[in-house]
Amino acid sequence: MWNDIELLTNDDTGSGYLSVGSRKEHGTALYQVDLLVKISSEKASLNPKIQACSLSDGFIIVADQSVILLDSICRSLQLHLVFDTEVDVVGLCQEGKFLLVGERSGNLHLIHVTSKQTLLTNAFVQKANDENRRTYQNLVIEKDGSNESTYYMLLLTYSGFFCITNLQLLKIQQAIENVDFSTAKKGTGNCAFSKWEPDSSKKGMTVKNLIDAEIIKGAKKFQLIDNLLFVLDTDNVLSLWDIYTLTPVWNWPSLHVEEFLLTTEADSPSSVTWQGITNLKLIALTASANKKMKNLMVYSLPTMEILYSLEVSSVSSLVQTGISTDTIYLLEGVCKNDPKLSEDSVSVLVLRCLTEALPENRLSRLLHKHRFAEAESFAIQFGLDVELVYKVKSNHILEKLALSSVDASEQTEWQQLVDDAKENLHKIQDDEFVVNYCLKAQWITYETTQEMLNYAKTRLLKKEDKTALIYSDGLKEVLRAHAKLTTFYGAFGPEKFSGSSWIEFLNNEDDLKDIFLQLKEGNLVCAQYLWLRHRANFESRFDVKMLESLLNSMSASVSLQKLCPWFKNDVIPFVRRTVPEGQIILAKWLEQAARNLELTDKANWPENGLQLAEIFFTAEKTDELGLASSWHWISLKDYQNTEEVCQLRTLVNNLRELITLHRKYNCKLALSDFEKENTTTIVFRMFDKVLAPELIPSILEKFIRVYMREHDLQEEELLLLYIEDLLNRCSSKSTSLFETAWEAKAMAVIACLSDTDKPSELFELQEDEALRRVQYLLLSRPIDYSSRMLFVFATSTTTTLGMHQLTFAHRTRALQCLFYLADKETIESLFKKPIEEVKSYLRCITFLASFETLNIPITYELFCSSPKEGMIKGLWKNHSHESMAVRLVTELCLEYKIYDLQLWNGLLQKLLGFNMIPYLRKVLKAISSIHSLWQVPYFSKAWQRVIQIPLLSASCPLSPDQLSDCSESLIAVLECPVSGDLDLIGVARQYIQLELPAFALACLMLMPHSEKRHQQIKNFLGSCDPQVILKQLEEHMNTSQLAGFSHQIRSLILNNIINKKEFGILAKTKYFQMLKMHAMNTNNITELVNYLANDLSLDEASVLITEYSKHCGKPVPPDTAPCEILKMFLSGLS
């Protein structure tokens, strides 16, 4: 029973046995095949009887005993009926409201569609004796032209012909009863087909002409086109006849046609004439040599040229349609791939729609349905853009990759996707597409991402002309992505890599946002690494607001031991260099953070507060870069003596004194109390801290007297003042006559006086001699006079200096001194210009001083008005052989943002040639944010030389300067944006020769290729001494810019020891405690516990378990025996 009906859209492909993709298609025309309806049966049917017709009021499908009525566009099911016997004919009338069905049994049914009710059933004829012979041959229902509400019906049976007129819905029964049965007796005899016309005089039909069976055997289908009649006979021969004379015009005996249709591009059949037969197309369902298949053929008339052919199943039927339609419908039976079923059995019927289409449209639909193999062969066959197929397939793979995960269960699936993507990219010639694809794809693993970026880079480099440098946006983006990938690996590690996280990281233009996020999460090590890698990108735009965001992002959980070195060696020098006004904010933040430590970290107070507060003053001096284009080093007095900086300086002094009180004088005071005191009252607090009066003499001798001597305090007078203060504070608060504790303390202090009769009087402190000396120097050297004199030197063009004319070099030094001595207001009042214009003037005369040294005559006015790029290239052309000129050109390019690729390639080459390594490194750092310069060939070469030359010139034992140079080289490796191009194995070997294995391991960890990196690290760890590496990390990498990366190296070493269970290496060293802490932080203490219990002592194992349990928030009950603790831990594992 055909009872499972599925209506499909054009986007449904009908996979598997429903597809026509594997069928044979031929012809010059192209048809788009779509699946509209799928009808399934519970049981397979052998050679089902199928037919269908497309009418203006609906679409009728007949399969054996089932009748299915759809709307005219096959989008909704109107009616589904199942009859007792097979259905021979169907018809639809009255705008699709009434359905006529003729059964094999002879019953004719009239059914109301809307209510699904059978209005009447009548048997016109008896069932034929032959089971396979149809009782009803054809049914025609047409409107009567004289009355629109009336229909007439022509019913052809196996034994006769019925004409039913005056068919009105209200008089249906009467019309059936008044059938003219005598008509069925006319036209009998040896006749193949005949022509009938209405006879108005007889109110019936009369035979006008007929064809004898000797001329043509029985006809089974006709189609009339004006005066042309297409006839298909029972021998499956199609012929063309003149309707008026019933004479043959044409026939095609060689064509074995089982069914046919005619279509035309004309608006209506009536417009077709003999001259217009060229507009006709013949659609025929023909037999095939393969009995399992038939051919759907489309011919052009009258030439009978094959336009299109499609192989269809043997159980197929053309859907009867009007002649003016341009769409072909085919009802086809399909069998599932079930070996138990017969080859002729059918379990699914499908209604297909064939529409003539352009090759481009067909290709587009194939791509839309992701039938890429078929699309590729189709594009090649029709000469279309086959590369489009590869691109669409690549994008489809891209979508699938975005939904994949790195789970082991899906590894085979996503690995196949990656392989397919690689294969596809090799076929695509469009480099821009390939590059964008490699950049945008959410590759599953870090290794695959690295491989695909390398592939994109190689593709671009092969296309480049090595003789001429051409700017390439694609290469710039690939190099930028390489640098970002290296950063991601160093910051988060490959284990946190995923396609989505990588794309988000790559597309993030706000580098500081990632840094702020890591700081908020307390991941300082990661934030430090990101800061180091991205610093060049945001340095030029860093402002006060960004600084505030940075400071506000600091998590309270960040370790002070890690934070202070980073601020001291990196952040504070960076702020002073890029945003000097930010020192005010920084000083205020450090002061508040240091004060907060008194509450948040009491155990280490006040040493921790001093450590944090003093880094502002002990930080590395601002790096002047050696570049004339780096002007942020100009230090104005405004930022050195602001209120905030002075308050921080005061806090540092107070904390130092507070620490001295704690350590030297055993007097612990709160910072807020200490800031209210002076030297006199501090002595009072020392006495207050003494709890027992009998201890006062010893405390006075051991601590208080020492303090008074060091601060030039008069002991006798101070003791009297304390007694007086004690009297004032305590006597008025006494509530009982027996509160004598303060009196006993007063008596003990009095006993310490050498002259007890000396009166108690206040005394004046002596004035500070140092302050008087500073005032004298300022008075003897008026700043007004000094600044005016320096201003004259800096701006005069005629003044002579002794026997020499005042040069630009003299003016530059004078103005630099003025900036150092005077404040902003003084300088602006002298120049009558804003401070930024004065700085610009300093920049210009600094460059002019260099021109002067090179004996190149140029005035200030000419320099300011000249086009800078032309001036720079002229200077390069004429003076590139001079090292000073090369440096000047470099600084001019940086200052005026001239980034010509050819020019910079030559500059880097010359700087290397002149061996200006320290200067070159500063230049490379300055241009690291210019992504277009990364593609300059000498860019990566310069980085390699800058890193290696200091190592090549060093030898063991290393001097402090050489050790500093080695550290700077490793920092350069971290900062290098094209580290993937560096020979890091070579650099690591040099570090090993210099007995710096920790530095060598750092280089290996930064290698871009994962397989090679893992193997190198494995070999290195197998031959190195972990204790030596941990020692070097502690001594050389904990307090510099390498502090963040040293944490990763330390974790790698400790993880390796844990994994190999080689705990004995560190068992009796100071690093064993570090190993324990690492094991607890990584929740990996099981093997370490076993080692302690078996090789050292049960007590140590129980202590570790106790600490770990406390760390996890599950403390061990007190007084638990060590053996019980161990037993509980091991049982918890099982």
Query: Which position has the higher pLDDT, 801 or 457?
Result: 457
- Judged by average pLDDT, the poorest of 598-607, 685-694, 767-776 is 767-776
CA–CA separation, 1013 vs 942, rounded Å? 23
Which whole number is the average pLDDT over 513-542? 90
Q: Residue 839: how many CB atoms within 10 A of its CB?
A: 17
- For residues 45, 48, 54, 57, the Cα torsion angle rounded to the nearest 10 degrees is -70
Give every CB contact of residue 447 below 8 A, 6+ residues apart in sequence: 494, 1009, 1010, 1011
196 pLDDT band, cuts 50/70/90, is: low
462 pLDDT band, cuts 50/70/90, is: confident
3-state secondary structure of 729: helix
Residue 583 and residue 575 in contact, taking contact as beta carbons nearer than 8 Å: yes
Q: Is 771 exposed, middle or buried (0-12, 13-18, 19+ CB in 10 A)?
A: exposed
Structural domain boundaries enclosing 641: 515-656
pLDDT tens, position by position, 352-408:
998 887 888 888 888 888 889 888 988 888 888 999 999 999 999 888 888 876 665
Q: Are residues 652 and 520 in the same domain?
A: yes
3-state secondary structure of 270: helix
One DSSP character per residue, 156-191 reads EESS-EEEEEEE-GGGHHHHHHT--GGGGGTT-SSE
CA–CA separation, 298 vs 354, rounded Å? 11
Last residue of a domain, one of 601, 625, 656: 656
Q: Are residues 628 and 684 in the same domain?
A: no
Distance between start and end Cα atoms, the chain: 60
Q: Output the pLDDT for position 888.
A: 94
Whether residue 271 is predicted with pLDDT greater than 60 in this model: the reply is: no
Q: Is residue 874 part of a domain?
A: no
Q: Is 371 exposed, middle or buried (0-12, 13-18, 19+ CB in 10 A)?
A: middle
Q: Which residue has the tokens 């403390």?
A: 1115
Angle at 170 between CA 168 and CA 173, to 5 degrees: 80
Angle at 263 between CA 257 and CA 268, to 5 degrees: 145
Give every CB contact of residue 978 below 8 A, 6+ residues apart in sequence: 479, 482, 483, 934, 939, 940, 943
Nearest partner of 1074 among 1099, 1102, 1049, 1044, judged by Cα: 1049
Which whole number is the average pLDDT over 575-582? 89
137, 1092, 1100 from 1085: Cα distances, Å: 89, 10, 13
Q: Output the pLDDT for position 190.
A: 56
Amino acid (one-letter) located at 618: T
pTM: 0.66
Q: Is residue 80 part of a domain?
A: no
Q: Are residues 618 and 707 in the same domain?
A: no
Q: Output the pLDDT for position 460.
A: 86
For strands 161-167 and 228-233, give the pairing.
Answer: unpaired
- Judged by average pLDDT, the poorest of 458-472, 1084-1098, 1117-1131 is 458-472
Q: Is residue 334 part of a domain?
A: no
Q: Are residues 714 and 761 in the same domain?
A: yes
Structure tokens at 759: 């009166």
3-state secondary structure of 290: coil
3-state secondary structure of 899: coil
Q: Are residues 632 and 537 in the same domain?
A: yes
Nearest partner of 925 among 976, 974, 970, 964, judged by Cα: 976
Q: Is residue 522 part of a domain?
A: yes
The pair phi, psi for residue 135, each rounded to 5°, is -70, -50
Whether residue 12 is predicted with pLDDT greater than 80 in this model: the reply is: no
pLDDT tens, position by position, 26-52:
777 778 888 899 999 888 888 888 999
Q: Output the pLDDT for position 779.
A: 35
Q: Is residue 700 part of a domain?
A: yes
Q: Which residue has the tokens 């059918």?
A: 346
Nearest partner of 609 among 590, 622, 635, judged by Cα: 590
Q: Output the pLDDT for position 558.
A: 82
What 8-state DSSP symbol labels residue 320? B
pLDDT tens, position by position, 1022-1069:
888 999 999 988 888 876 678 778 888 888 999 999 888 888 888 888
Which whole number is the average pLDDT over 614-626? 71
Q: Are residues 650 and 682 in the same domain?
A: no
Structure tokens at 299: 């011919």
Q: Residue 823: how many CB atoms within 10 A of its CB?
A: 16
Q: Is residue 621 part of a domain?
A: yes
- For residues 414, 420, 426, 427, the Cα torsion angle rounded to the nearest 10 degrees is -150
Last residue of a domain, one of 765, 784, 799: 765
Residue 106 C-beta-side C-alpha neighbours within 13 Å: 11
Whether residue 106 is predicted with pLDDT greater than 50 in this model: the reply is: yes
pLDDT tens, position by position, 751-764:
777 644 433 332 23
pLDDT tens, position by position, 406-438:
665 567 787 888 888 889 889 999 988 999 989
Percentage of the residues of the chain whose pLDDT score is greater than 90 = 20
pLDDT tens, position by position, 1100-1132:
888 888 888 888 878 888 878 888 888 887 777
467, 591, 609, 911 from 597: Cα distances, Å: 62, 10, 6, 49
Angle at 419 between CA 417 and CA 420, to 5 degrees: 65
Q: Are residues 688 and 731 in the same domain?
A: yes
Alpha helices in 48-113 (DSSP H): none
Q: Is residue 699 part of a domain?
A: yes
Structure tokens at 55: 């009418």
Q: Which residue has the tokens 């007949």?
A: 62
Q: Output the pLDDT for position 184.
A: 41
Residue 330 and residue 352 in contact, taking contact as beta carbons nearer than 8 Å: yes
Whether residue 79 is predicted with pLDDT greater than 90 in this model: the reply is: yes
Residue 453 and residue 447 in contact, taking contact as beta carbons nearer than 8 Å: no
Whether residue 302 is predicted with pLDDT greater than 90 in this model: the reply is: no
Whether residue 773 is predicted with pLDDT greater than 50 in this model: the reply is: no
Edge-to-edge strand ranges of the sheet holding 2-7: 2-7, 31-46, 345-356, 327-334, 316-318
CA–CA separation, 256 vs 253, rounded Å? 7
Number of H helices and E strands in the chain, helices first, is 45, 29
Query: Which position has the higher pLDDT, 150 or 575?
Result: 575
3-state secondary structure of 267: coil
Q: Which long-range contacts (CB under 8 A, 24 or more apart) does 214-218 make?
A: 214/190, 215/248, 216/192, 217/192, 218/192, 218/193
Q: Are residues 624 and 738 in the same domain?
A: no
CA–CA separation, 419 vs 430, rounded Å? 19
Q: Are residues 690 and 647 in the same domain?
A: no
Q: Output the pLDDT for position 16.
A: 35
Q: Taking every pair of C-alpha atoms in the chain, what is the biggest distance, in angstroms?
A: 166
104, 286, 628 from 132: Cα distances, Å: 9, 21, 104
Structure tokens at 1088: 């370490």
Whether residue 789 is predicted with pLDDT greater than 80 in this model: the reply is: no
- Judged by average pLDDT, the poorest of 637-651, 653-667, 757-771, 1037-1051 is 757-771
Whether residue 633 is predicted with pLDDT greater than 50 in this model: the reply is: no
CA–CA separation, 844 vs 847, rounded Å? 5
One DSSP character per residue, 1067-1127 reads TTSTTHHHHHHHHHHTT--HHHHHHIIIII-HHHHHHHHHHHHHHTT-PPPTT--HHHHHH
Whether residue 727 is predicted with pLDDT greater than 50 in this model: the reply is: yes
539, 627, 808 from 846: Cα distances, Å: 23, 11, 7
Q: Output the pLDDT for position 1096.
A: 79
Amino acid (one-letter) located at 678: N
Nearest partner of 1006 among 1059, 1038, 1053, 970, judged by Cα: 970
* Bond from prior residue into 1026 cis (ω within 30 degrees of 0): no
Q: Are residues 546 and 634 in the same domain?
A: yes
Whether residue 906 is predicted with pLDDT greater than 90 in this model: the reply is: yes
Residue 313 and residue 333 in contact, taking contact as beta carbons nearer than 8 Å: yes
Domain count for the chain:
2
Q: Are residues 642 and 688 in the same domain?
A: no
Q: Output the pLDDT for position 66.
A: 93
Last residue of a domain, one of 705, 733, 765: 765
Element (H, E) at 220: strand 219-225
Nearest partner of 547 among 579, 520, 592, 525, judged by Cα: 579
Mean pLDDT of the chain: 81
CA–CA separation, 681 vs 675, rounded Å? 11
- For residues 827, 832, 834, 838, the Cα torsion angle rounded to the nearest 10 degrees is -60
Give every CB contact of residue 1003 below 8 A, 6+ residues apart in sequence: 970, 973, 984, 985, 987, 988, 991
Whether residue 188 is predicted with pLDDT greater than 70 in this model: the reply is: no
Which whole number is the average pLDDT over 177-190? 47
CA–CA separation, 984 vs 1004, rounded Å? 7
What 8-state DSSP symbol labels residue 184? G
Which whole number is the average pLDDT over 204-228? 72
pLDDT tens, position by position, 915-930:
899 999 999 999 998 9
Whether residue 306 is predicted with pLDDT greater than 80 in this model: the reply is: yes
Q: Is residue 733 part of a domain?
A: yes
Q: Are residues 720 and 629 in the same domain?
A: no
Structure tokens at 611: 């450590």
179 pLDDT band, cuts 50/70/90, is: low
Structure tokens at 1037: 């990498």
383: left (phi over 0), alpha (psi -120 to 50) or beta: left
Q: Output the pLDDT for position 1087.
A: 86
User: Mutual orientation of helices 883-895 and 835-853 as an angle, nearest 10°?
Assistant: 160
Q: Output the pLDDT for position 347.
A: 87
One DSSP character per residue, 1019-1062 reads HHHHHS-HHHHHHHIIIIISSSTTHHHHHHHHHHHHHHHHHHT-
Which whole number is the average pLDDT over 679-701? 81
Whether residue 183 is predicted with pLDDT greater than 50 in this model: the reply is: no
The pair phi, psi for residue 184, each rounded to 5°, is -65, -20
Q: Which residue has the tokens 């000249």?
A: 866
